[in-house]
């Protein structure tokens, strides 16, 4: 038996509880993992609270991230005792995820845990930091350098935004953070932001073309925020879009792309090829230090997950939440 957060659905709605689960209930997979740590992402919080139809089958163990030790393996890629890491691939939505003491998974979803990162630090990063790294890599491949000017990060107080600010800052970029929580400006400046702008400056409808300011943008918000960010990006700049907290719509025009040569990159982290994952995690382990992980995260236990998920959706959680198993 092991402990897990279980989500069920009935006529009264979604129900999430901390339960004792028999190992025989684990889904099919060729690798069984003792989960050392997981984390709570925005998608996990939606699943746990039932605020959005994230879960595709019931019962479901949420948790799109996990790190752990291989207990049993029928895969040539991994052996018993290997430290492994997982992000995405529909885990926590259609296949039991990481908010449990054990998981059974497909080996094709796993990568080795980088030797320079501890299990807890890997979950301080999680899908949020890994997505932020994918955004930064897209900007670098576009040719954006620190000398070209300011880089805007929207939704900067969230997990992806926090890591985007920190990564870009440590790589020498001038980072401007947009946030709806101006009272937390000190946190963003500690991460390396040189300026803080209010969310309201971007969240309302704006002109198709605005004054050129940003060499590049990491957008975690979508909707009008993304449209305004594109409209104010400088000629030849790039925008990496990875979030939809404000909405899935894109109320913009082709003007920034045709008249200024702006490029919009869509950043998917869920089904990303393994080679991209390994590259992103290696970069994360090279750039970030233990102090970075500790600044951006805090630790809770499995029995605090449901309460923390509610707080996250209410905008009361800063940075990342690590869920450490007993």
Model pLDDT for residues 35-63, shown as the tens digit of each residue: 999 999 989 999 999 998 899 999 999 99
Let me know whether 201 and 243 are in one domain.
Answer: yes
58 is a domain residue: yes
Count CA atoms closer than 13 A to 169's CA, side-chain side. Answer: 21
Let me know whether 255 and 299 are in one domain.
Answer: no
Continuous H helices in 210-266: 223-231, 255-259
Over residues 147-170, mean pLDDT: 95
Let me know whether 236 and 143 are in one domain.
Answer: yes
CATH code for the domain of 187: 3.40.50.720
DSSP 113: P
Query: In this structure, what token pair is assigned to residue 159?
Result: 């997990």
Continuous H helices in the chain: 42-49, 119-142, 159-170, 185-191, 200-203, 223-231, 255-259, 274-287, 290-296, 305-313
Q: In the predicted model, is pLDDT for residue 183 greater than 90?
A: no
149: left (phi over 0), alpha (psi -120 to 50) or beta: left
Let me know whether 153 and 235 are in one domain.
Answer: yes
Over residues 170-196, mean pLDDT: 94
Count CA atoms closer than 13 A to 206's CA, side-chain side. Answer: 22
Over residues 301-317, mean pLDDT: 92
305 is a domain residue: yes
Residue 134 to residue 164: CA distance in whole angstroms: 10
Let me know whether 134 and 246 are in one domain.
Answer: yes
311 is a domain residue: yes
Give the pLDDT of residue 288: 93
Residue 110 to residue 136: CA distance in whole angstroms: 22
Choose the weakest-confidence range: 77-86, 153-162, 219-228. 153-162
Give the pLDDT of residue 44: 95
CATH code for the domain of 40: 3.90.180.10
192 is a domain residue: yes
Which range of residues forms the domain containing residue 75?
2-113+290-324
Residue 163 to residue 206: CA distance in whole angstroms: 27
131 is a domain residue: yes
81 is a domain residue: yes
Give the pLDDT of residue 318: 76
Where among 266, 282, 312 does a domain terminate? 266
Give the pLDDT of residue 165: 97
Give the pLDDT of residue 326: 81
Q: What is the mean pLDDT of the chain?
A: 95
Give the pLDDT of residue 182: 84
Q: In the predicted model, is pLDDT for residue 295 greater than 90?
A: no
CB atoms within 10 A of CB 210: 16
* Band (184; pLDDT cuts 50, 70, 90): confident
Give the pLDDT of residue 155: 94
Over residues 64-72, mean pLDDT: 98
277 is a domain residue: no
Let me know whether 47 and 137 are in one domain.
Answer: no
Residue 58 to residue 157: CA distance in whole angstroms: 32
Let me know whether 54 and 183 are in one domain.
Answer: no
Let me know whether 22 and 99 are in one domain.
Answer: yes
Give the pLDDT of residue 294: 82
Let me know whether 53 and 178 are in one domain.
Answer: no
Let me know whether 28 and 77 are in one domain.
Answer: yes
Give the pLDDT of residue 168: 98
Tell me which of 297 and 127 has the higher pLDDT. Answer: 127
C-beta separation of 156 from 125 below 8 A = no
Q: What is the pLDDT of residues 208-248, one digit of tens each?
A: 999 999 999 999 999 999 999 999 999 999 999 999 989 99
Number of domains in the chain: 2
Let me know whether 28 and 99 are in one domain.
Answer: yes
Let me know whether 156 and 108 are in one domain.
Answer: no
* Band (173; pLDDT cuts 50, 70, 90): very high
Give the pLDDT of residue 59: 96
Give the pLDDT of residue 251: 96
Q: In the predicted model, is pLDDT for residue 319 greater than 80?
A: no
Nearest to 63 by CA among 13, 102, 120: 102
Give the pLDDT of residue 245: 87
120 is a domain residue: no
């Amino acid at each position: 038996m092991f402990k897990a957060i279980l989500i069920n659905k009935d006529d009264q709605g979604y129900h999430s509880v901390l339960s004792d689960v028999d190992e025989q209930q684990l889904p099919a997979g060729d690798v069984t993992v003792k989960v050392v740590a997981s984390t709570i992402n925005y998608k996990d919080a939606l699943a746990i609270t039932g605020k959005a139809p994230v879960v595709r089958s019931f019962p479901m163990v949420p948790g799109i991230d996990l790190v752990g030790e291989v207990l049993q393996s029928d895969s040539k890629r991994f052996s018993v005792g290997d430290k492994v890491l997982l992000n995405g691939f529909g885990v926590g939505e259609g296949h039991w995820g990481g908010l449990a003491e054990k998981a059974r998974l497909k080996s094709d979803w796993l990568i080795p845990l980088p030797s320079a990162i501890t299990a807890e630090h890997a979950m301080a990063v999680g899908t949020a930091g890994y997505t932020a790294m994918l955004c930064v890599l897209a900007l670098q491949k576009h040719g954006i350098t620190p000398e070209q000017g300011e880089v805007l990060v929207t939704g900067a107080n969230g997990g992806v935004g926090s890591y985007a600010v920190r990564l870009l800052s440590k790589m020498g970029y001038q980072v401007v953070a947009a946030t709806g929580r101006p009272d937390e400006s000190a946190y963003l400046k500690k991460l390396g932001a040189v300026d803080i702008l209010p969310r309201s400056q971007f969240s309302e409808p704006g002109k198709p073309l605005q004054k050129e300011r940003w060499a590049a943008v990491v957008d975690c918000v979508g909707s009008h925020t993304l449209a305004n960010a594109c409209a104010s990006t400088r000629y030849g700049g790039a925008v990496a879009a990875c979030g939809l907290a404000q909405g899935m719509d894109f109320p913009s025009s082709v003007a920034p792309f045709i008249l200024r040569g702006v490029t919009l990159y869509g950043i998917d982290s869920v089904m990303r090829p393994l080679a991209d994952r390994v590259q992103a995690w290696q970069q994360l382990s090279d750039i970030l230090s233990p102090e970075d992980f500790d600044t951006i995260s805090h630790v809770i236990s499995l029995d605090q997950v449901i309460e923390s998920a509610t707080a996250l959706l209410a905008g009361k959680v800063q940075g990342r939440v690590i869920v450490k198993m007993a």
